[in-house]
Amino acid sequence: MQNILEVCVDSYASAMAAIAGGADRLELCSALAVGGLTPSPALLRLIRKVSRIPVRCLMRTRGGDFLYTREEIQQMAMEIELLKEAGSDGFVIGCLTADGDLDKEAMKPLLEAADGTALTLHRCIDVSRDLCHTYRDAAALGIDTILTSGGAGNCLAGMEAIRQLIALRDETNGPEVLIGSGVKAAVIAEFLRNVPGARAFHMSGKTEMESGMHFRREGVPMGLPGLDEWHIPVTSQEAVAAAKALLTE
């Protein structure tokens, strides 16, 4: 199977940079500063005007944990329908029980809404009780990709757990293991050297773009105190291209 580079983007500018850098697929979301939330169908429609690159949309109604209410699950199922109409190829989903297992009952409405599309289990696996158990449960639901940092703060720290998941993938012919959190060219090189079978990577490749505002009123944050409105995170085409070059050597 060929190597995959998925780039997580939350704006049109970032999507265009990722595509120009050679991304194989986009994970489309909003609000990456809080780990990513569900994207706007309008943004997907704009991307679809210029590119047919595969796009999977993140389904996450809010920041925080993955223990969702019935209404939050209904909202995500409704948003899946809207994003399917806008041209999404797949969805990035995940619900946990209070005890840290994959909540198969809660995920039923999402799976039904997403029927016929590709599916990724997002990093809820990294805060689940048992990564291998969650992997097997996701496989049983028909999910084809598992995004993970190996249950650690970044993928290098979780390398050993990722190695175990890749071994489980090969043993069971299970879902692809998509390595994420802290991914850049140097990190990909480290995995390619040390983890046989590592072949799918997920990155944002963010850099900061200076705001075009000349007048800047200080001390009036639009979000959490400390966030900077004058430097806008955007995907770096160069960072994506460097990562892609390693995967195509």
Residue 64, phi-psi category: left (phi > 0), alpha (psi -120 to 50), beta (remainder) = left
Which pLDDT does position 229 carry in this prediction? 83
Which pLDDT does position 218 carry in this prediction? 83
Contact 112, 77 (CB under 8 A): yes
For residue 101, count CB atoms less than 10 angstroms from its CB and return exposed for 0-12, middle for 13-18, buried for 19 or more. Answer: middle
Which pLDDT does position 54 carry in this prediction? 98
Which pLDDT does position 223 carry in this prediction? 74
Residue of 120, 130, 128, 124 whose CA lies nearest to 177 = 120
DSSP assignment letter at 49: T
Residue 212's contacts (CB-CB under 8 Å, 6 or more residues apart) are none
**pTM, to two decimals:** 0.95
Tokens at residue 92, please?
């990035």
Distance CA 191, CA 205 (A): 17
**Mean pLDDT per 10-residue run, the chain (249 residues)?**
94 98 98 92 98 98 96 98 98 98 97 97 97 98 98 98 98 98 97 97 94 87 75 94 94
Alpha helices in the chain (DSSP H): 12-21, 41-48, 70-86, 104-113, 131-140, 159-172, 185-194, 237-248
Distance CA 21, CA 14 (A): 10
